[in-house]
Amino acid sequence: MEILNPTQLSRDVGLKTLEKALRVSESRTALAIGIPKETAADERRVSLAPGGVSVLVANGHRVIVEAGAGAGARFEDREYADAGAEIVPTAEQLHRDAACLVRVAPPSVEETALLHEGQLLISAVHLGTAKAAFFEQLIRKGVTGIGFEFLQSRDGSFPLVRMMHEITGAVAVQVAAHYLERTQGGPGVLLGGVSGIPPATVVILGAGLIGEYAARTALGYGAQVLVMDDDLSALRRIENALDRRVITAMANTQYLHTALQSADVLIGAALVEGDRAPCWVTEPMVASMKEGAVIVDAVIDQGGCVSTSRATTHSDPVYRAHGVLHYAVPNMPSCVARTASYALSNVLVPYLLQIGDAGGLAGALWNHVTLRNGTYLYKRHVTKKALSNLFGLPYRDIDMLMASRI
């Protein structure tokens, strides 16, 4: 048997380039991707940043941007033009020219009227405020819908929701600290305390991503943090993730009553992915809280987890109920629109590339489970059981629709 000489091996193998030809899909197609200007109240985010646009254009796709679409996130039209996008003056022209619309908030009634047969709509759905009429109109128009909330990877994670949840958790604590100030109507409490003065108590409902990042931020402020959930394994996970620096408790009625009576801040982060948020806090529980305490319902876009919560806006964000200040803005990441827009772009661009590389949406649905999971309207049918149950709409399994080739 021949003995390999290490020097010869290095010369013959290690120094050779081992490249091979890259197979380019023959079915690849160029997409016409539209980025509209957001019209939802106080929505400052944009779905794709100029850097993401440049990647799409470099891969042969056409990107159409409505003038002023990035202004809320401090992106100028010039930056999009430099990245290779076409700037159009009106929403009507954008909707006419784009086969795929990528937006942050779901379209308004007026914008829905601009959609046409065969278009692909990628956006948030906002289950907490959605109406059956919205889905019925999209079905009549033959629009395919992919929802941010439904994009689920094979490992069970929700990539786009995860990014927004990380931001939401951090912003929730920043907001709470602000409204604890006396000038904002709060009791004048410093979240982290100072030497000789105990910190504020922050109670977080939900040990998911929003809860985890809220806890990380609150700990960074120096607050005392209690995380509650009805899932013991989730509490174990967050204890391990935060090195047991938080107190955890099961979210049963007894513990909730006790915790809320001592809370300076309540962060509502209880969430069921792809469904409405569970309502854990009753009105009597809110009434038992301290005068001037702050509630930030960070899942109000999914219906909220506090019974006294109602959706507010960035321009009018708070109200009082039972002496407790409530903040319940559905699009909290819009506070940090530039960071949030970069985060959206980082997640969405690979999906758009996958659709183009697969020759269109039909091929991408066959090849990419995340896109298939994210689709809630396909071939004039609702393909999400949760939506069917919430709004009484007929349901069809997307795998069956694809296989039947209707």
Global pTM reads 0.81
Residue found by looking up tokens 């509650």 in the block: 228
Q: Are 113 and 91 in contact (CB under 8 A)?
A: no
- Indicate whether 280 and 172 sit together in one domain: yes
Query: 50-58 vs 337-357: helix axis angle to the nearest 10?
Result: 10
pLDDT for residue 130 = 84
Q: Which two tokens stand for residue 172?
A: 């929730």
Q: Are residues 92 and 230 in the same domain?
A: no
- pLDDT at position 405 is 60
DSSP secondary structure of 334-360: GGGHHHHHHHHHHHHHHHHHHHHHTTS
Determine whether 301 is an active site residue: yes
Q: How many CB atoms lie within 10 A of CB 10?
A: 10
**pLDDT (0 to 100) of residue 339:** 96
**Are 202 and 103 members of one domain?**
no
Same domain? For 304 and 356 the reply is no
Task: Look at the chain and report how many structural domains it folds into.
Answer: 2
Active-site residue, from 61, 95, 126, 381: 126
Same domain, 180 and 236: yes
Residue 16 lies inside a defined structural domain of this protein: no
Active site residue 82: no
Provide the token pair at 228: 């509650």
Catalytic residue among 95, 301, 357, 381, which?
A: 301
pLDDT tens digits for the chain (406 residues)?
444 444 443 334 333 333 434 344 457 899 999 999 999 888 999 999 999 999 999 999 999 999 999 999 999 999 999 999 999 999 999 999 999 999 999 999 999 999 999 999 999 998 777 889 999 999 999 999 999 989 999 888 889 988 989 999 999 999 999 999 999 989 999 999 999 999 999 999 999 999 999 999 999 999 999 999 999 999 999 999 998 899 999 999 999 999 999 999 999 999 876 577 889 999 999 999 999 999 999 999 888 999 999 999 998 999 999 999 999 998 899 999 999 999 999 999 999 999 999 999 999 999 999 999 999 999 999 999 888 988 889 999 898 888 876 5
pLDDT of residue 161: 85
Distances (CA, A) of 202 to 94, 115, 248: 45, 45, 12
Select from 312, 330, 348 the last residue of a domain: 330
CB-based burial of residue 392 (10 Å sphere; 0-12 exposed, 13-18 middle, 19+ buried)?
exposed
Whether residue 355 sits in one domain with residue 323: no
- To 5 degrees, how large is the angle CA 403–CA 404–CA 406? 125
Distance CA 129, CA 313 (A): 13
Dist. CA 105–CA 85, nearest whole Å: 21
Composition of the chain by helix, strand, coil, percent to 5 = 40, 15, 40
Q: Give the pLDDT score at 386.
A: 85
Rg (the chain; Cα; Å): 24
Phi, psi values for residue 76, rounded to 5°: -90, 155
Instruction: Give the end of a domain, one of 330, 355, 375.
Output: 330
- Among the listed residues 345, 378, 349, 341, the one whose alpha carbon sits nearest the alpha carbon of residue 138: 378
The H or E element spanning position 224 is strand 224-229
Residues 47 and 97 in one domain: yes
What is the CATH number for 217? 3.40.50.720
Give yes or no for a contact between 383 and 397, defined as CB atoms under 8 angstroms apart.
Answer: yes
Round to whole Å and give the CA distance between 32 and 60. Answer: 10
CB 78 within 8 A of CB 104: no
On whether both 321 and 173 belong to a single domain, the answer is yes
Looking at residue 21, its pLDDT comes to 40
Q: How many other β-carbons are positioned within 10 Å of the β-carbon of residue 8?
A: 9
Q: What is the pLDDT of residue 9?
A: 38
User: Are 78 and 112 contained in the same domain?
Assistant: yes
Q: Domain boundary at 309, 330, 351, which? A: 330
Strand 375-378 relative to strand 381-382, pairing: antiparallel
Distance from C-alpha of 87 to C-alpha of 78, rounded to nearest angstrom: 9
* Full domain range(s) for residue 111: 28-150+336-404
Q: Are the C-beta atoms of 81 and 53 separated by less than 8 Å?
A: no
Residue 12 has what pLDDT?
42
Give me the helix-helix angle, 232-241 and 209-221, nearest 10°.
40
Tell me if 251 sits within 8 A of 227, measured CB to CB.
no
DSSP state of 72: G
